Amino acid sequence: MSIVNQEMLEQYLSNQLEGRALRDFKLQLETDTNLREALEERQRFQRYEDFIKGAMSVQEANAFEQNLKDDSSLRLEFQNFKTAFTILEQDAKLQIREFISEVERKNPISTQRRILPWRALSIAASVLLVVGFGFLYFLSNSQLDGKTIAEASFKPYPVKGVLMGAHPIGEPTISSLAQQAYKDRSYDQAAKLFSSITKKDPLYGSAQFYYGNALMAQQEYKQAIDALENSLQYVEEDKGKGKWFLALALLADEQKERATSILDDLEKNAADSFYREQAIKLLKELNANE
């Protein structure tokens, strides 16, 4: 897995890359999935910020509101971003007030007038940079409840190839439709199709897993918990991802004790280092917010 060069990404978005550097970046975009996803995320975040700040035209704002109504995944991500942006903005205002008080105490009026605008701009810039790089950074430094942390940590698990598992007889078409709806982020439709499959074959662990993810994308946490628990019973390999998403669903459903128990298990026993590291980070966030 490649590591995204955030500095280069910033330069590209601000039109600072030129010549060979720009060509190399565009070539990398064609082959580097992580870089493309990071760029798309940054562009989405910029749209969210523009909408929150009223920087969109009326037509753009109306179109964006319609997108939010139609796309449950986009709606969830936007709500998480808005929560994060608001906290950052409040924190920046607090820093500015504290700075003004400090300047007034230590400096004459002429110095205040010279220094304050640059300090304010610096704080505002830091807010935008942190939001741009990802709102999870500051969530770990804010007093937030488990549900908010879980929702901010959730990202639907991508469909990779053809779903593994025993397809019910006569159901490959439904399975394909479910996968496509999921890939298109039409989670309501995907959930209905995966539900149809799991009702006919409860042992189809992969379908249960994606059914749980589709439900989580719609904030249907209690149903998601059932589906993810079922998936863990019938998937022999790669239980780490199932436990991770189950922990998030439990946390979002305010079942912190059960969620913490699963995260502790992942930290100690996960075969996949990625989920072990994710569990460690999330446990630290939960402990910091107690």
- Res. 184: pLDDT tops 50: yes
Give pTM, 2 decimals: 0.54
Whole-number pLDDT of residue 117: 40
With cut-offs at 50, 70 and 90, classify the pLDDT of residue 190.
very high
**Contact, 209 vs 227, CB < 8 A?**
yes
| DSSP, res 41 | H
**Contact, 53 vs 85, CB < 8 A?**
no
- Looking at the chain, the whole-number percentage of residues with pLDDT higher than 70 is 72
With cut-offs at 50, 70 and 90, classify the pLDDT of residue 251.
very high
Which H/E stretch holds residue 235? Answer: none
| 3-state secondary structure (DSSP) of residue 237 | coil
Residue 101: burial class (beta carbons within 10 Å; 0-12, 13-18, 19+): exposed
**CATH number of the 152-288 domain:** 1.25.40.10
Query: Residue 116 has which token pair?
Result: 């304050």
Give me the helices (H) in 107-135, please.
Answer: 109-133
Q: CA-CA distances (angstroms) from residue 69 to 46, 63, 78, 184, 188?
A: 19, 10, 11, 15, 12
Report the C-alpha gap between 103 and 98 in whole angstroms.
9
Concatenating the DSSP letter of every residue in 167-227 gives PPTT-HHHHHHHHHHHHTT-HHHHHHHHHHHHHH-TT-HHHHHHHHHHHHHTT-HHHHHHH
Domain definitions of the chain by residue range: 6-67, 71-142, 152-288
| 3-state secondary structure (DSSP) of residue 234 | helix
Q: For 52-79, what is each residue's pLDDT tens digit?
A: 878 888 889 889 988 888 887 788 888 8
Whole-number pLDDT of residue 289: 67
Q: For 203-219, what is each residue's pLDDT tens digit?
A: 888 899 999 999 999 99
Nearest alpha-carbon partner for 231 in 218, 244, 154: 244
With cut-offs at 50, 70 and 90, classify the pLDDT of residue 174.
confident
With cut-offs at 50, 70 and 90, classify the pLDDT of residue 162.
low
Report the C-alpha gap between 203 and 181 in whole angstroms.
22
**Which of 37-51, 72-86, 163-177, 221-235 reaches the highest mean pLDDT?**
221-235
Whole-number pLDDT of residue 255: 94
Q: CA-CA distances (angstroms) from residue 4 to 28, 78, 85, 133?
A: 11, 22, 23, 11
Whole-number pLDDT of residue 95: 55
The average pLDDT across 238-253 equals: 92
The average pLDDT across 252-267 equals: 93
| DSSP, res 15 | T
Nearest alpha-carbon partner for 198 in 243, 223, 206, 235: 206
